[in-house]
Amino acid sequence: MLLIFVTLLSICIKALIIYSVQIWHSNMPHNKIADRKGHQGWMKREGQHFLFPGGGTMFPDGAEQYIEKLSQYIPIKGGALRTALDMGCGVASFGGYLLAQNILAMSFAPRDSHKSQIQFALERGIPAFVAMLGTRRLPFPAFGFDLVHCSRCLIPFTAYNATYFLEVDRLLRPGGYLVISGPPVRWPKQEKEWSDLQAVAKTLCYEQITVDGNTAIWKKPAGDSCLPNQNEFGLELCDDSGDLSQAWYFKLKKCVSSTSSIKGDYAIGTIPKWPMRLTAAPLRSTLLKTGVDVYEADTKQWARRVAHYKNSLNIKLGTPSIRNIMDMNALYGGFAAALKSDPVWVMNVVPAQKPPTLDAIFDRGLIGVYHDWCEPFSTYPRTYDLIHVVSIESLIKDPASGKTRCNIVDLMVEIDRILRPEGTIVVRDAPEVIDKVARIAHSVRWKPTIYDKEPDSHNSEKILVLTKTFWKL
Ligand SMILES: C[S@@+](CC[C@H](N)C(=O)[O-])C[C@H]1O[C@@H](n2cnc3c(N)ncnc32)[C@H](O)[C@@H]1O
């Protein structure tokens, strides 16, 4: 037992990530994917490293060429598309290579026979998390992704099911693109599934852009779906469109999400191109209630705060030590937006109990998920380099009653699990909360330092910077 523990600790700190290309074998000594998928270019072992040649089951010659092929049909270059979803991503080479085009992909897959695929993706520094398309909505807002991709992501479209298509439709931005490659697209013995898939796409008025080999590409209508009253699948518009963005413990519904229920100009072609959309105030309904002024002030405030983190608190943002970042209480994604020029990506988490602002985050061209911080986060151990949290106590309180729903020590142990050894945690909160967290920090072997807030900040917050130590028994 002791030996396993010491071995685990000794392998986990080799933090040098040569982004997307190679990782230390000893950080994740799991050879199964390399053995089974090496011939498809997923990854291979070479001495002390795993190398990632950039291939995949549907693109054994490399994601780069595959993306080049897609760009004949889809405006991959030029900023019209920014947020992408790669369903059933393997080790996330597709998402990794999209980054070169300034497209930020959220890649996901379950822990199945492909084992720790998402851990490999994160070790490479590619945005990813553990999930599967099953019985519940994925934890994303409606109409957030400009591009949805599924290459041989097996279950969803092989065992063809209209409900899965409707979930993809909920997630896809009006005017966005859907790419499915592999079965059932022109696949032997899957003629029925292929024909059904085309028929449901047609029922929702998706325009088939091309079928090139085994890759099919559709464009979702920029306006509302043209769903007729009668259709062969018995599909109807969802009756309560108000809950379209509810995606935490929400059962999949077999109905069509209507765009008319959400105000604002957010379709592809209307929303500003990247990078302008990062700073243009998103016009979704949730934000309009708050007001554009508040949003602009938030953006400016985060630029000042991040400058303070870098210049006065000596946090290594902007250096190769920090790549995978999580903002546990992201609101409008202001913290992530202020890091735009740094070689990092940010998982913006909007707590499921708070106002659902994730749609605005996606409209800005950033990515994230809904999550309840009284539960474990869907990732592997040691996968984030920096974790940022504003109002840590609010994450575990019930907003209506103000009562605590779970223990702050459990939350800190979960943060400790997610964080890479020698990683950093930044907590902003009231002085009494900061003192409490700093006291508990010693028990989880984090080194705490308390700082004053930025000089021009008006509230009474303090900033606690914690370092997870690298320790052995
Ligand atoms: C053959 S691999 C393809 C991986 C990658 N897309 C590629 O082309 O290299 C199938 C992928 O689909 C994932 N998968 C299977 N069922 C899934 C589901 N229900 N939801 C999401 N992903 C799923 C697997 O875990 C795996 O990542």
- Tens-binned pLDDT, residue by residue, of the chain (473 aa): 444 433 333 333 333 333 458 999 999 999 999 999 999 999 999 999 999 999 999 999 999 999 999 999 999 999 999 999 999 999 999 999 999 999 999 999 999 888 899 999 999 999 999 999 999 999 999 999 999 999 998 666 655 578 899 999 999 999 999 999 999 999 999 998 899 899 999 999 999 999 999 999 999 999 876 776 677 888 888 886 568 888 999 999 888 998 877 777 899 999 999 999 999 887 776 666 667 788 888 999 999 999 999 999 999 999 999 999 999 999 999 999 999 999 999 999 999 999 999 999 999 999 999 999 999 999 999 999 999 999 999 999 999 999 999 999 999 999 999 999 999 999 999 999 999 999 999 999 999 999 999 987 778 899 999 999 998 77
Testing ligand 1's pocket by substitution, the residue of 94, 138, 154, 215 carrying the most ligand atoms inside 8 A of its CB is 154
pTM of the model: 0.94
Cβ–ligand 1 distance for 184 under 6 Å, the answer: no
Whole-number Å distance, alpha carbon 453 to ligand 1 midpoint, is 45
3-state secondary structure of 146: strand
Separation between Cα atoms, residue 202 and residue 402, nearest integer Å: 48
Task: Give how far Cα 406 sits from Cα of 17, 373, 436, Å.
Answer: 35, 9, 16
Instruction: Name, in order, each residue with C-beta under 8 angstroms of 233's C-beta and a sequence gap of 6 or more.
Output: 162, 199, 200, 203
Cβ–ligand 1 distance for 58 under 6 Å, the answer: yes
Cβ–ligand 1 distance for 324 under 6 Å, the answer: no
Q: Whose CA is nearest to atom 10 of ligand 1?
A: 153
Domain ranges of the chain: 14-261, 277-468
Spatial contact of 160 and 193, defined as CB atoms under 8 Å apart: yes
88-121 residue pLDDT tens: 999 999 999 999 999 999 999 999 888 899 999 9
**Model pLDDT, residue 3:** 40
Cβ–ligand 1 distance for 161 under 6 Å, the answer: no
Cβ–ligand 1 distance for 55 under 6 Å, the answer: no
DSSP string, 301-333: HHHHHHHHHHHTS---TTSTT--EEEETT-TTT
**What's the longest Cα–Cα distance across the chain?**
67
| Residue 460 in tokens | 């009474």
3-state secondary structure of 259: helix
Whole-number Å distance, alpha carbon 188 to ligand 1 midpoint, is 19
Whole-number Å distance, alpha carbon 326 to ligand 1 midpoint, is 24
Spatial contact of 328 and 389, defined as CB atoms under 8 Å apart: yes
- The H or E element containing residue 418 is helix 408-418
Q: Whose CA is nearest to atom 1 of ligand 1?
A: 152
Task: Give how far Cα 112 sits from Cα of 237, 261, 384, Å.
Answer: 34, 37, 22
Q: Whose CA is nearest to atom 13 of ligand 1?
A: 88
**Model pLDDT, residue 131:** 97
**Model pLDDT, residue 289:** 67
Separation between Cα atoms, residue 147 and residue 175, nearest integer Å: 9
First to last CA, the chain: 11
Separation between Cα atoms, residue 385 and residue 382, nearest integer Å: 8
Q: Counting Cβ atoms within 10 Å, is residue 39 exposed (0-12), middle (13-18) or buried (19+)?
A: exposed
The CATH architecture assigned to 277-468 reads 3-Layer(aba) Sandwich (3.40)
Cβ–ligand 1 distance for 171 under 6 Å, the answer: no
Over its C-alpha atoms, the chain yields an Rg (Å, rounded) of 22
- Atom nearest to 109 CA in ligand 1: 22
Spatial contact of 409 and 434, defined as CB atoms under 8 Å apart: no
Q: Whose CA is nearest to atom 9 of ligand 1?
A: 56
Whole-number Å distance, alpha carbon 151 to ligand 1 midpoint, is 8
Nearest to 470 by CA among 419, 436, 427: 419
HSE value, Cβ hemisphere, 13 Å, CA-based, for 48: 5
Separation between Cα atoms, residue 385 and residue 470, nearest integer Å: 13
Cα torsion 439, 441, 447, 448: sign: negative
Cβ–ligand 1 distance for 112 under 6 Å, the answer: yes
Nearest to 151 by CA among 215, 212, 100: 215
Whole-number Å distance, alpha carbon 38 to ligand 1 midpoint, is 16
Testing ligand 1's pocket by substitution, the residue of 153, 160, 378 carrying the most ligand atoms inside 8 A of its CB is 153
258-297 residue pLDDT tens: 887 777 789 999 999 999 999 988 777 666 666 778 888 8
Whole-number Å distance, alpha carbon 152 to ligand 1 midpoint, is 6
**Model pLDDT, residue 459:** 82
Q: Which residue has the tokens 């000794």?
A: 10
Q: Does domain 14-261 have CATH number 3.40.50.170?
A: no
Identical fold for domains 14-261 and 277-468, yes or no, is yes
**Model pLDDT, residue 241:** 56
Cβ–ligand 1 distance for 151 under 6 Å, the answer: yes
Q: Whose CA is nearest to atom 22 of ligand 1?
A: 88
Spatial contact of 104 and 84, defined as CB atoms under 8 Å apart: yes
